[in-house]
Amino acid sequence: MQWLQGQPVLVLDEGSSKVKLEGLAAGAGPGLVRDAEADSTRLRRALSLLPVRSWPAEVDDALAGVIQRGAAPSSALRELAEQRRLPWLLVRSESGLRLETTRSAEILWQLKLEGKAALKRVVGRLMRAIEGTAPSREAGPVRVSQTRLAPPEVLASLRLEAVEGSGPDHLKQAQSAVQRWPADPAVRVHEVLASSPGSPELAALKLAHALNPLGESELLALALLAEQRARDSRALRWRGLLSALYPKRIDYLPALADQLAAHGDRDAAVALLRSGGALVDSGLRKLPSGTAPHQRPEALPAADLRFYLAWFLAAGGGWELAAHNYLEAEQLYERLGRPVERGDALNNAGVAMVEVGRPLAAMSSLRRAVALREAHRGPERVATSRYNLARAAADAGRHAQALEAYAEAASDYDRAGRLEEGSETLIERLELLARQGKIGPLERAAEGLFQRLGSEPSELLANLWTELGRGRHLLGAHEAALIAHQRALALWKGLGSRLEEGQSLYLAALPQVALMRLDEAHHSLIAALRIAVELGDSSSMVAIRDQLGLLGQLIKVQGGEVPAVEPELRIWLEPPAP
């Protein structure tokens, strides 16, 4: 099993009524026997010197929640393991130990045990199988079958102290642990971190990791625990060290990029992911469909790298490159049989293509996203993709398809219990109904929404009146449009939403001009300007100034006199100096 060296695995204990591993609580003293009730945490600790990357499930709440003592790995556990890019499970069963694939449960290696089996012999045989050494010797920097390891409860205490405690207490515990278990790599990592918590020396950490250079670092467990406990600055520091110690492990990079972006350094996140992309084998582009993760364990992390790079590019407005990277990721996900990730990548690629003005290409991507999410996701994700499809269809001028997609998205949101999002989607749909050029469908849809929302004042109700006013104005029903905007204005005032109040005043001026109520329109625009100045809303000030200029010209053409503007507002009506 030399191919397993340095690869990520999940160690599990199914429990057993027949087999006992003598000394399973490593380091706890001679003669202690842990029988069928020994849990996966103790087994992982006992096997932690093997040259494989054993995932620290004991600090992964979601994964630990589906590990059932005495039961074979469930489909839910296998899915969570694959989401963590763990292609193999190393399982203790009634008959001994076995290595199997996460996805298909194909058994690749077995070690049969009967009666009492000394743990040191089991570990030794595993080590020889993985390193391919002769039965008479062990390779590696330490003789793992003779190395005493700190028990799980000691390591758990050290981790908690590192994440939540004070520096002196962590140092005291770590130094005490090193005295008892000097060859335990995890304990050595804690000693280095506790000795200089702000800036641990990379050389000292490398020395600690040299005890098992192909294993998983204790830094990963600490980072996971810190993230779950919202200790983000510590998580960032430990993930940075993890990446520095193992620069070729690209599966570490997305989580580090997340932390960098959360700390306000999106550019560093993008640079990190791009540097990781340079390590990806270009031959993965020719990966045949149906490839299982255990056949090319580096492939899923490579797809994730593309996906995360696209995410951060999109966050910075780099939509074209984001779309390209999302589609590159989708191709790998398809070949590796990951439909959930495929749906996410296609959805996000569609959004990016809408942003760069390619709505027809976006529609193709989003239709596939809808199909995948219908098969593998809940109604909320389906609704999101249908909504994005509606936006793309509207931009492409496919109004009938857009109207249908909006209605289906609202229905999906309702099925997901997201009634507010469903209402927002139906309100947005009103604009397209108005573009159809017939007021009847618009009014009927609005009436249905009024019944849905009720009469209780709310932002949704105010938005409904606003969109109805826009639609009526577009269709030439100016008197009805003005009534709608006045209803919206009253609601926004009652809700204390000054920005939206100003927007309603601005919108009310449009039908007032169409009805030739020019003085009323001027009054509405000045009131809107007053709110914009109060809020420092410069974009609204510019729009209002332009409208007042046009309105003033119209008043003069009609033989009227432009109303005077109070001095404190007059300055905002003057164009900026060249």
CA 449 to chain centre: 33
* Amino acid 555: pLDDT: 95
Four-CA torsion 502, 504, 505, 509, nearest 10 degrees: 140
Candidates 24, 100, 12; CA nearest to 63 is 12
Candidates 513, 539, 527; CA nearest to 569 is 527
How far apart CA 101 and CA 78 sit, in angstroms, is: 9
Helices (H), 356-418: 359-376, 379-395, 399-415
How far apart CA 189 and CA 238 sit, in angstroms, is: 11
CA distances from 462 to 115, 512, 519 (A): 74, 20, 25
What residues are paired with 89 via a beta bridge? 10, 100
How far apart CA 197 and CA 303 sit, in angstroms, is: 34
Q: Are 382 and 373 in contact (CB under 8 A)?
A: yes
How far apart CA 341 and CA 102 sit, in angstroms, is: 17
How far apart CA 383 and CA 417 sit, in angstroms, is: 11
* Amino acid 253: pLDDT: 97
* Amino acid 112: pLDDT: 84
Q: Are 49 and 144 in contact (CB under 8 A)?
A: yes
Only one residue has tokens 């960032």, namely: 236
The full length of the chain comes to 578
Candidates 537, 548, 535, 555; CA nearest to 575 is 548
Q: Going by DSSP bridges, is the β-strand pair 96-101/88-93 parallel, antiparallel, or unpaired?
A: antiparallel
Helices (H), 285-318: 299-315
Candidates 289, 270, 298; CA nearest to 331 is 289
* Amino acid 118: pLDDT: 59
Per-position pLDDT tens, the chain of length 578 = 889 999 999 999 886 544 444 444 433 332 222 333 345 777 788 888 889 999 999 999 998 888 876 678 899 999 999 999 999 999 988 778 899 999 999 999 998 876 555 566 777 788 888 887 654 444 454 455 556 889 899 999 999 999 998 889 999 999 999 999 999 999 999 999 998 877 778 888 999 999 999 999 999 999 999 999 999 999 999 999 999 999 999 999 999 999 999 999 999 999 999 999 999 988 898 999 999 999 999 999 999 999 999 999 999 999 999 999 999 999 999 999 999 999 999 999 999 999 999 999 999 999 999 999 999 999 999 999 999 999 999 999 999 999 999 999 999 999 999 999 999 999 999 999 999 999 999 999 999 999 999 999 999 999 999 999 999 999 999 999 999 999 999 999 999 999 999 999 999 999 999 999 999 999 999 999 999 999 999 999 999 999 999 999 999 999 999 999 998 898 888 876 66
Only one residue has tokens 């007032």, namely: 512
How far apart CA 552 and CA 563 sit, in angstroms, is: 9
Q: What is the H or E stretch that residue 194 is in?
A: helix 185-195
How far apart CA 550 and CA 531 sit, in angstroms, is: 20
* Amino acid 35: pLDDT: 36
For 351, the token pair is 């959004």
Backbone phi, psi, residue 21, to 5°? -100, 110
How far apart CA 241 and CA 218 sit, in angstroms, is: 11
For 32, the token pair is 């202690």
Backbone phi, psi, residue 271, to 5°? -60, -40
Only one residue has tokens 């001095």, namely: 567
- CB neighbours of 524 closer than 8 A, spacing ≥ 6? 505, 506, 508, 509, 512
